[in-house]
Amino acid sequence: MNKFITLEGIEGVGKTSNLRYIKELLEESGHNCVLTREPGGTNLGESLRGLLLSHSDENMSADTELLMMFAARAEHLSKIILPALKNGQTVLCDRFTEATYAYQGGGRQLDVDKISELEDWVQGDLRPDLTVILDAPVEIGRARAGKRSEPDRIEKEQDDFFQRVREAYIELANRYPQRICLVDASLTLAEVQQQIHAKLVEYDILNA
């Protein structure tokens, strides 16, 4: 019953809004879920998240950003994700390594081979059983996210950055269709949830 499921997408596409929905669906079908997020999920990871998203280091180098994402991930894997999976629980994670390929690879244009080496080092063979990418045009995500608080250090990037992030996500879904899928997040919340439900069935996470 233990599955590792991650939810991805550019800012404001609706990850937070849909995580609870996915958790409910999984729990109705008997999964014992752990809901967590990246960067974060542990005390140290949440501290790193604060540093990564705050405006105190606007000029942080892209390599530093990449290494901090993986430092937080190493801690998250060892303290939360791996113990939960070992314990038979399903881990539902708001962003994971696909975000690194999208933001640091696509957005910051870092060499994806570096990301891939870190992924292999930190995760070994572990990859999510299913990654759902909520896909919507940048202007839709920005309009939805803009209704909330002040933008953080990454949210304040320009549209071309988020366009590259979006394209990198689409490329990942095309490259690994056996474990990564796209959902059209530009539709109403009810329509997005219908698609998510269908994907969970299609990828054998839920029964039809």
From 144, 179, 197, 199, residue interacting with ligand T5A (rule: CB under 6 A): 144
If binding is defined by CB under 6 A, does position 38 make contact with ligand T5A? yes
From 3, 4, 6, 11, residue interacting with ligand T5A (rule: CB under 6 A): 11
If binding is defined by CB under 6 A, does position 169 make contact with ligand T5A? no
CA 208 to chain centre: 25
**How many whole angstroms separate alpha carbon 14 and alpha carbon 7?**
10
Closest-CA residue to 5 (of 35, 43, 47): 35
- Please say whether the beta carbons of 103 and 165 come within 8 A: yes
Footprint on residues 41-100 left by ligand T5A (CB under 6 A): 69, 94-95, 99-100
Phi and psi torsions of 184, nearest 5°? -75, 105
Cβ 85 to ligand T5A, closest distance in Å? 18
- Please say whether the beta carbons of 135 and 183 come within 8 A: yes
If binding is defined by CB under 6 A, does position 170 make contact with ligand T5A? no
Interface with ligand T5A by CB under 6 A: which residues? 9, 11-17, 38-39, 69, 94-95, 99-100, 103-104, 144-145, 147, 154-155, 185, 188-189, 192
